[in-house]
Structures are given as structure tokens and as C-alpha cells.
Chain A
Amino acid sequence: MKKRVALILLAVFMMVFGIYRGEMAVVFNKAVNICLECIGIG
């Protein structure tokens, strides 16, 4: 029980920290501007 709860809490903490340091903005930027190389064209 403790193992799972700890993992879940750690996971949430990591996500929040990642968002705080700007990672989510990077994901968004990449997801809405198609870089052709990334999808294998050209």
C-alpha cells in the first residue's frame, strides 16, 4: 500500500515540478507547431 501511494505522490510532485520549470510549455509549443522533420516528411 505504502509503495503505491508513495509512487503516486512522487509522480504528482514530479509533474508539478516539471510544469513549474516550463516543461509543459515546451510540450505545447511542439504539439501545436508541426515540425515536419518530427513527423517524417521531407
Chain B
Amino acid sequence: MLLIDCPWCGPRDDEEFHYGGEAHILRPRDAAALSDEAFADYLFMQQNPKGPHLERWSHNHGCRRWFNMLRNTATNEILEIYPMGEKPKTEAGQAAYAANWRRETAAEKNALSGEGS
């Protein structure tokens, strides 16, 4: 059972929230260019760490807004909450982001192709 500090509503019980799974999965721009294996990386493969995990949550029974969260799956400690569309700012969050194998996948490179960043 978690006490989640919603950025808009303050600390609320986790029953009010909806878990949206792993955060920062980018949809490939040109999916037809990817192999079946590379598309499966995007569609089915999961980050499933025992430790810090970047994930999406929505305050479903409250303000209904989405946000990102860094939570330790071994202890349920909530380490950071940050807005959608942004990257984590804490050291642990940045480490979890960088350590994700997704950063190296063809699917993510495909998704970022043509972007300035």
C-alpha cells in the first residue's frame, strides 16, 4: 500500500491511482522499418528491475492527471515524482533512466530519428 504525493492533490492512498506501467517508452516513428524482434522490444519486452523503477501513474479517482514516478520495487519507497514529458532529475532517477536497455534499442532510435535532441 502506497501513499502517493499527487503533484496536484497532495498525498493520497494508492487506491485512488491507476498504474500505467513503465515510463519513457517511445513509439517508433517508422514502425515498418523495424524488424519483428525490434518491434517486440517496443511492444512486449519489459523493464522489471528489483530496485528503482521509472513508471507512470494517473490519479484516476482524483484529478485524473498523469505523472511519472521513481519507485524502488524492492522496498516500495517513492524516490521522485516528476511531470509527464520530462526526464527524472534525481541521481537515482537519472541512473535508472540511463541503465535501461531500451536506450540502446532500434525501436527507441527509430522513435527519436528526425528529432533535434
Q: Tell me whether A and B are bound partners.
A: no
